[in-house]
Amino acid sequence: MNLPIQLPIETERLVLRLPQLDDVDALMEYSQDADVCRYLPYEPRSRQEIEASMERRMGFTEFTPEGLPLFLHVELKETGEMMGELLLFSRNVEARQGEIGYVFNPRFQGKGYAFEAASALMDAAFKEANLHRIEAKCSAVNTSSWKLMEKLGMRREAHFKEQALFKGEWDELLIYAILQREWLELAK
């Protein structure tokens, strides 16, 4: 494995680390929740589907055009509980384009953990992996998600109206992004 960033990442309250096989129970707790999956490209998952997803979660090798994303599982330092996940995709290796995603157990939402985790990953992605730009996408009705993008300092660059049918409804896609130099300026 050729990790683009040093792991684990520690923040004040969290540890961001690679997925482990014994994360299945923690994943079950939120991956079966219809509210959590509402804006995700999959339906609530069975234990079997979650177990099968571990191969993909643990399959990162390096940033390549066709490669799997880097999944990070987020632990609460205080209790050791696995509370959610971050994804970092490489969208273009040569142009150093990345995309970030996140999913948290509702039990651990509304406490700033997703922000703390995503901030730490973006910082490492810009400073260690030397990405040039990081994008994030969500449905316009996924307010918690785009609010998080705005808190991270990302700029709304697109709002595509009724650009797809998603789970039977018209979907409005938002694209947010921030450049490496903008992030470094923010972090000063």
Ligand X SMILES: CC(C)(COP(=O)(O)OP(=O)(O)OC[C@H]1O[C@@H](n2cnc3c(N)ncnc32)[C@H](O)[C@@H]1OP(=O)(O)O)[C@@H](O)C(=O)NCCC(=O)NCCS
Closest CB 33 distance from ligand X, rounded Å: 9
102 in contact with ligand X (CB under 6 A): yes
114 contributes a contact to ligand X by CB under 6 A? yes
Give least dist CB 94 to ligand X, A: 26
Q: Is 74 exposed, middle or buried (0-12, 13-18, 19+ CB in 10 A)?
A: buried
Q: Residues with Cβ < 8 Å from 181, sequence gap 6 or more?
A: none
CA–CA distance, 153 with 51 (Å, rounded to integer): 35
Binding-site member from 77, 111, 156, 167 for ligand X (CB under 6 A): 111
The minimum distance between CB 2 and ligand X, in angstroms, equals: 27
Please give the order of strands across the beta sheet that includes 70-76.
9-10, 14-17, 70-76, 82-92, 97-104, 133-139, 169-179, 155-166
Judged by beta carbon, residue 99 or residue 131, the one nearer ligand X is 99
CB 18 within 8 A of CB 7: yes
Q: Does 53 bind ligand X (CB under 6 A)?
A: no
- Residue 89 engages ligand X in binding (rule: CB under 6 A): no
Which residues bind to ligand X, rule: CB under 6 A? Answer: 36, 39-40, 101-104, 109-115, 138, 142, 144-145, 147-148, 151
